[in-house]
Structure 1
Amino acid sequence: MAGTIKKALAKNALIIAPQWIGDAVMTEPLLRRLAARGERLTVAALPWIAPVYRAMPGVAEVIEMPFKHGGLQLKGRWKLARQLRGRFEAAYVCPNSLKSALIPWLAGIPRRMGYTGEMRFGLLTDRLDNPQLEERPPMVEWYAALSLMGQTYAEPELPMKLTGDLRPVLKMPPQLMDQALEELSRIPSLPVLARNSYVVFAPGAEYGPAKRWPAKHFAELAIKIDRPVLVLGSAKEHDIAEEITRIANAQQPGHCHNLAGNTNLVQAFALIANAHRVVSNDSGLMHVAAAFGVPQVAVYGSSSPEHTPPLNDRARVVWLRVDPNYQPPLACAPCYERTCPLGHMRCLEDVSAERVYKLL
């Protein structure tokens, strides 16, 4: 802990957003708290994350940072920081990286708050220490704890007891929703996108294959579902989605539609928000579905729903690690590895399509 804060609340605050969709969604309760106490919020986000914050009612402005994954890109950060000078009284830095704290520091923002992270002692004026791995709270609480730094407090420790609703909420502006659905309606092969008339699959997970339920299981599930199935994801996940649609359509032609890489994030949000059900891995789109309150089933492998759960009363989770009837017990989970270190992928291979179907 960097010390007790006894300073006035900020009126204009800059939020440095995480670079992953799921993490961005999980910052919403933090932003909601800041907005509720009168802070005007401007979010600086990478272009592929920016749409998440445009669906958060508490955000006044979104600035798209012209950066790519990786690299310090100091010249670009200095240029953006100069444009921001004098605009903000405070900054909340959500990521742990050193580079994420550079812009508030270069912009001369008086109060710069975040976790200690990558040795950021000189870049942040107020810091929280990261909890030990075995003590870390759910990610949404980890982000929401930053709201305690903008008020007077006395040395809180993590995991903190945070009052109020910590479930992320997204709400697309009606005009943005209508525009996205109109754009999607021009795709000739798609069915009519009436609300609750289709099911969305999100079979990807950017982190790695140890978080991805096998495509053959998704395909088997698609065959069981009596509504059209839309498969969403990034261009990197096109081949996974294509395998699902190929297998499913071999038995039910035209039943499954591969949209991976063919929609932008706003269009994906619109499809998820209007879906009858969503089936996914532990991924960014899982958190999007939860924040829109859509009924969903999430399949977990190498990660843990105790740390990054879908915070949605209508969500159902499949995680063999806690299933007393699954034998032999899955003692290796959660391993948090990108690929299965043991090579068997039991945590996902042994989750049947029938099991997921019963939860829909």
Structure 2
Amino acid sequence: MFNNWQDCKHILCIRPDNMGDLLMTGPALRALKTSFGAKITVLTSSMAAGIARFMPEIDEVITCDLPWVKTESPVDVSIFEQTVALLKQKQFDAAVIFTVYSQNPLPTVILAYLAGIPRRLAYCRENPYLLLTEWVPDKEPYSIIKHQVRRDLDLVGSVGASTEDESLNLKIATDAKERVISKLQQKSINTDKPWLILHPGVSEVKRQYPKKNWVDTGHSLVNELGYQLLITGSTGEKQLTEDLQKAIGKGSYAMGGLFTLEEFIALIEMAVAVVSVNTGTVHIAAASGTPCVVLYAQTNPQHTPWKAPNCVLPFSVPQNLQSNNEVIRFVHEQLYKEFVPIPDSEQVLKAVKTLLQTNLAYR
């Protein structure tokens, strides 16, 4: 087993999941980069590749959708030979495979093994034998559950990588906020007045917050706080944002599909607060230091906002939508036995008020 990574100057970090997952890996990537003076190349999914451009710890990105991670479309089997060939060509000194506790790392590890990468680090429950050179037995979630950021930091810490700065970090162009202001003004939004963001879109049905609740929450926030309410979403969520805006009415604005990812980051940085479900938006808010109220479907306790002002309002996932993954089911049986109803608009309003007052975030 290798135990000296000081000579590792080109490290492959594999995180083939969603945008928020990759963003939470940022502090661990920083630890590798600064501890070993290494170039960091990330292999990630097409869903997460966009955010990688704004993570200063990342030097190069390889995009690859893998069939053992949720993807939008079927994966061509030729991708395996192509990816292994590319990884061989890059001549990495080491590979780190990052996972949530419910994932088996070994299918991903095999890519690094076949590419001949000499050092391979990951958490794993079963004995990986020769597939890993540095094996960290995975005790989660049976003995302990850590935040995902801490889990990743502890993984790289096992080979001597550390950082004093454990915050999430995003870096955008200096003109990004100017572009946002221009687009907002074109929508007749007063950019001299503060705004609050509602982000209703989800990647999984089980995380959905009902439309009626979004409408009630929007009414409460506009009427009680007087902020402009920007309802954000991707191009595919444009209709959703428009439907909610029509139902909420005066003081709200549909922003679906209006911003690039970089502009969306800038918009969040300039917002008074964000109200969202537990998706990548929450972690962008944490990286921006923007207060966030999270409508948190009880799927994974690791993924709350990291080192940022926040209020988490949990609710139970309907039984018919709960995961068949036995590890996730174990956590559900241990932590989420009692039914938690979906938070209503009064709870969200109270959370926003408390969060803003506590963090002196009025602007």
> Fold match, TM over 0.5?
yes
Verify the 8 A CA contact 1:77 1:102 in the aligned structure 2: no
The residue identity in structure 2 corresponding to 1:295 is P
Q: Which residue of 1 aligns with 2:96?
A: 92
For 1:181, what is the secondary structure of its paired residue? Answer: helix
1:129 partnered with 2:137: yes
The residue identity in structure 2 corresponding to 1:247 is A
Q: 1:223 to 1:118 in 2, by over 3 A?
A: farther
Q: Which residue of 2 aligns with 1:246?
A: 246
User: What displacement does 1:71 show?
Assistant: 5.4
User: What displacement does 1:357 show?
Assistant: 4.0
Q: How does 1:161-310 map to 2 (within 5 A)?
A: 164-174=164-174, 177=176, 181=180, 185=183, 188-189=186-187, 191=189, 193=191, 197-210=194-207, 212=209, 214-224=213-223, 225-235=225-235, 237-249=237-249, 252=250, 255-303=251-299, 307-310=302-305
The residue identity in structure 1 corresponding to 2:27 is P
Q: Say which structure is richer in helix.
A: 2
The residue identity in structure 1 corresponding to 2:29 is L
Q: Distance in 2 between matches of 1:260 and 1:297?
A: 20
Q: Which residue of 1 aligns with 2:78?
A: 75
User: What displacement does 1:14 show?
Assistant: 0.9
TM-score by length of 2: 0.75
For 2:80, what is the secondary structure of its paired residue? Answer: helix
For 1:47, what is the secondary structure of its paired residue? Answer: coil
Verify the 8 A CA contact 1:43 1:61 in the aligned structure 2: yes
Verify the 8 A CA contact 1:190 1:257 in the aligned structure 2: no
User: What displacement does 1:15 show?
Assistant: 1.1
For 1:76, what is the secondary structure of its paired residue? Answer: helix
Q: Distance in 2 between matches of 1:122 and 1:36?
A: 28
Verify the 8 A CA contact 1:212 1:281 in the aligned structure 2: yes
Q: 1:270 to 1:350 in 2, by over 3 A?
A: closer
Q: 1:320 to 1:188 in 2, by over 3 A?
A: same
The residue identity in structure 1 corresponding to 2:341 is R
Q: Which residue of 1 aligns with 2:361?
A: none
User: What displacement does 1:33 show?
Assistant: 0.7
Write out the 4+ residue segments of structure 1 that deviate beyond 6 Å after TM superposition.
none
Q: 1:264 to 1:42 in 2, by over 3 A?
A: same
The residue identity in structure 2 corresponding to 1:76 is I
Q: Which residue of 2 aligns with 1:108?
A: 116
Verify the 8 A CA contact 1:211 1:300 in the aligned structure 2: no
Q: Distance in 1 between matches of 2:191 and 2:183?
A: 7
Verify the 8 A CA contact 2:197 2:232 in the aligned structure 1: yes
Percent of residue pairs identical: 23
Verify the 8 A CA contact 1:46 1:64 in the aligned structure 2: yes
Deviations 1:138-166 (A, max 9, x none): 111111122124339xxxxxxxxx88443
For 1:19, what is the secondary structure of its paired residue? Answer: coil
Verify the 8 A CA contact 2:222 2:229 in the aligned structure 1: no
Structure 1's unaligned 5+ residue stretches are: 153-161, 322-333
Verify the 8 A CA contact 2:14 2:42 in the aligned structure 1: yes
The residue identity in structure 2 corresponding to 1:229 is L
Q: Which residue of 2 aligns with 1:329?
A: none
- RMSD value, Cα: 3.6
TM-score by length of 1: 0.76
Verify the 8 A CA contact 1:78 1:103 in the aligned structure 2: no
Verify the 8 A CA contact 2:217 2:349 in the aligned structure 1: no
Q: Distance in 2 between matches of 1:294 and 1:358?
A: 14
